[in-house]
Structure 1
Amino acid sequence: MSNNLPKLNPTFVALMSVLPVIDYNSVPIEVLRTNHASTTLSDDIPRPKVTVQRIKIPTCEDGYLIPADMHRPASAISNEVLPAMIFLPGGGFCLPSQGGHPFIASKIHDNGEANCVVILAHYSLSPEVRYPVAVEECYSVFKWATNPDNASKLFFDPTKVAMGGDSSGASLTIGTSVLVKRRNLKNKMKHQILYYPAIYPNAATESHQNFTEGCILSKDTIDFFINNYISSEKDKLDPICFPSNLDIKDLIGLPPTLMITGEADPLRDEAEIFARRLLEAEVDVSSYRVQGVLHGFLSILLFTLKKFWKLLT
């Protein structure tokens, strides 16, 4: 473990003492996915009351059907038209949603304020597909959700659709928000909610130097995810693939943004630098750093522990 780590939350200290070191380059992707998807929630964690409907959303280009789960508050009136949020799960562009992600989708509206429909979209994974397939699928999901005909059938408001995600899901959210702007969709993205996105392909920030050694997200793991995602080295310069390449003109007019980072996350600095760039482009931004946590704190297997849920709450 890095000597530069700040004081961690005790739950993370316990995790780091038992977490096995995984060489992602030596383990078949199928095994990684099986282990990742098998994470389940503790029975001690109360489940929000929600109805879940499996839907399939066609892509704009070839009509491939993207699976998604629509979470709707059980307390909502059956035909009540609600705002919507599309949530994109993280996993290095390679791993499927895990036990924490469906729970997050159900929990988002369960705070008395965000009374909304949540669409958990399961975009295609790498390396079977590579950039730009996943981000184009996420754009298709947003375009589908902001189509009045589609929204009216599922009782949500196509003019009030936000998007968010964690890690790679947050990076895909940024790429989608830029595509929505560039392609001039009639119904714009209302907000983007970003949990510790990857912004640079080869970051040399202080947080990268301090928190990739012996931590959850090592440099080798980051490189593994990137190399499985990109189609060629040229993609590292593509602003939709990596938001560090976005020009100021691309940032102007992006939706109000909530940025959330972890103190001991190698991606912390690049995400906070991006938040400052959004401010320079006069985008409304709120940025929060959660102290004492590592990368992936929103959806990591610690969700199996009730005391960790108390930390997030």
Structure 2
Amino acid sequence: MPSLVKKLISSFNPPDIRKFYKIHREIVHFMVRSAVKVNDGHFDKYVTAPDGHNIRVRIYPPRTIGNSTRLLVFYHGGGWVIDDIDRYHKVCRQLAEMTGSYVLSVDYRLAPEHKYPAGLDDCYEVTRLVFANAARYGIKKRNIILIGDSAGGNLAAAVSLRARDRHEFRVRRQILIYPATACEFGDDSPYLSMRQNGKGCLLTAERMRGYLDLYLNDISQKDDPYVSPIKAASLKGLPETLIITAENDPLRDEGEAFGKRLYNAGGNVRAFRIKNAYHGFFGTDLLRHPHAKEAVSIIMYFLRLTD
């Protein structure tokens, strides 16, 4: 990381997320609410969970539907605590346009109001129902792809892992964008990128520890494989996987290590590291941000290669 950039970022000290998360949510809601009101073809639906609560999903058809039968099930980032489908509205709209796919964005429950595994349960239930009803909507199950960034990438990997373990449905493809896979955010982290980039960045190791504290009932749960997928006893039988990491991201090495473990378990894995990139670029503007555009190009390559 260039020293000047690091100094500029270091000068901004975000408050403790444990205390700030509600204010953050309010700020984001205020900033994005006008964009969501635009009638751009999207529509909301509600999925009823087994316990009776409703899970909102937002569906984005591609501009030119044609013969598109590909569906991207999208789980947003935000440390399991902040952000929602409104915050990622533009990203999902652009993703549908640029890939020519339907995108289904999941508004899963957030911590700390809903601790682990509530958010994962929502993501899993929506995905299970998508697979169960695929034929009804003319979608081949192979063309249902899980995708998420950061905590959303973590949830995508966890949904695939749980689906394998429960034998309820089989995920064929997943796209993990700078995912949290190990949740080793301490100063003694075995991952070099966490030690090198965990300070002086907008996403710090301290902030990630705050997210994890809010997400989990007890810190010992970080070793649960559905919290830290890399810690699963076996990674055999998991989907064909695309992993995209950012060079200056604290999460870079654990994302890439997850890819290596998948590969060593016999998985089909493609991993790309975007040079000079920082955590969070995918949540900006897919049409204009250079690193986001590069990521979408990689995603389109992966989709064409595996269709």
Residue 256 of structure 1 corresponds to which residue in structure 2? 240
Q: 2:172 corresponds to which residue?
A: 190
Deviation at 1:311, TM superposition (A): 4.2
Q: Which residue of 1 aligns with 2:149?
A: 166
Q: How has the CA–CA distance of structure 1 residues 50 and 185 changed in structure 2, closer, same or farther, with 3 Å as cutoff?
A: farther
Q: Distance in 1 between matches of 2:119 and 2:69?
A: 27
CA contact (8 A) 2:180 2:254 kept: yes
Cα distance, 1:18 vs structure 2: 10
Alpha-carbon contact 2:71-2:145 (below 8 Å) kept: yes
| TM superposition shift of 1:185 | 2.1
- Shift of the 198–129 alpha-carbon distance from structure 1 to 2, 3 Å rule, reads same
* Residue 7 of structure 1: how far off its partner (Å): 7.8
**1:211 to 1:81, Cα distance in 2 relative to 1, 3 A:** closer
Q: Give the aligned partner of residue 119 of structure 2.
A: 134
What residue ranges of structure 1 are gaps of 5+ in the alignment? none
- Following TM superposition, by how much is the alpha carbon of 1:19 offset from its aligned partner in structure 2, in angstroms? 7.8
- Structure 2: which 5+ residue stretches go unaligned? 294-307
- Alignment partner of 2:229 out of 238, 243, 259: 243
What residue is the counterpart of 2:57 in the other structure?
Answer: 68
Normalising by structure 2, report the TM-score.
0.84
Mapped pair 1:146 → 2:131: yes
More helix by share: 2
Distance 1:228 1:292, change over 3 A: same
Q: 1:96 aligns with which of 83, 86, 90?
A: 83
Following the alignment from structure 1 to structure 2, what is the Cα–Cα distance between the partners of residues 256 and 212? Answer: 30
Report if aligned partners of 1:262, 1:289 keep a CA contact under 8 Å in 2: yes
Taking the aligned partners of 1:26 and 1:236, their CA distance within structure 2 comes to 17
Between the aligned partners of 2:272 and 2:68, the Cα distance in structure 1 is 31
Comparing both chains, which one has the higher relative contact order based on Cα–Cα distances under 8 Å and sequence gaps of 6 or more? 1
Residue 21 of structure 1: CA displacement?
A: 2.1
Equivalent residues in 2 for 1:264-275, closer than 5 Å: 264-275=248-259
- Secondary structure of 2:46's aligned partner: strand
Please, which of 78, 82, 87 is the counterpart of residue 74 of structure 2? Answer: 87
Equivalent position amino acid for 1:195 in 2: I
Whether the 8 Å contact between 2:161 and 2:238 is mirrored in structure 1 is yes
Q: Is the 8 A contact 1:93 1:125 kept in 2?
A: yes
Structure 2 CA distance for partners of 1:253 and 1:50, relative to 1, 3 Å: farther
User: What SS does structure 2 have at the residue aligned with 1:293?
Assistant: coil
* Structure that is richer in strand per residue: 1
Give the match for residue 25 of structure 2.
Answer: 33
The equivalent of 2:267 in structure 1 is 283
Match of 1:208 among 194, 206, 214: 194
**Matched residue pairs, number?**
287
Letter in 2 for 1:119: L
CA RMSD of aligned residues (A): 2.9
The alpha carbon displacement at 1:29 in A equals: 2.4
Deviations 1:60-102 (A, max 9, x none): x31321111000013115xx66121100000000002376622
**Identity within the alignment, %:** 24
- What TM-score does the superposition give when structure 1 sets the normalisation length? 0.82
Per the TM alignment, residue 35 of structure 1 is displaced from its structure 2 partner at its CA by: 2.1
Distance 1:206 1:84 in 2: 35
User: Does structure 2 conserve the Cα–Cα contact (< 8 Å) formed by 1:94 and 1:228?
Assistant: yes
Q: Counterpart in 2 of 1:230?
A: 216
The answer (yes or no) to whether the contact 1:83–1:161 under 8 Å persists in 2 is yes
Deviation at 1:109, TM superposition (A): 3.3
State yes or no: 1:125 paired with 2:110: yes
Q: Tell me whether 260-269 or 67-76 shows the greater mean CA deviation.
A: 67-76
Is residue 50–residue 73 contact of structure 1 (8 Å, CA) maintained in 2? no
CA contact under 8 A between 2:16 and 2:210: conserved in structure 1?
yes
Q: CA deviation at 1:278?
A: 0.5
Give the CA deviation at 1:26.
6.6
Q: 1:283 to 1:50 in 2, by over 3 A?
A: farther
Worse overlay, 118-127 or 25-34 = 25-34
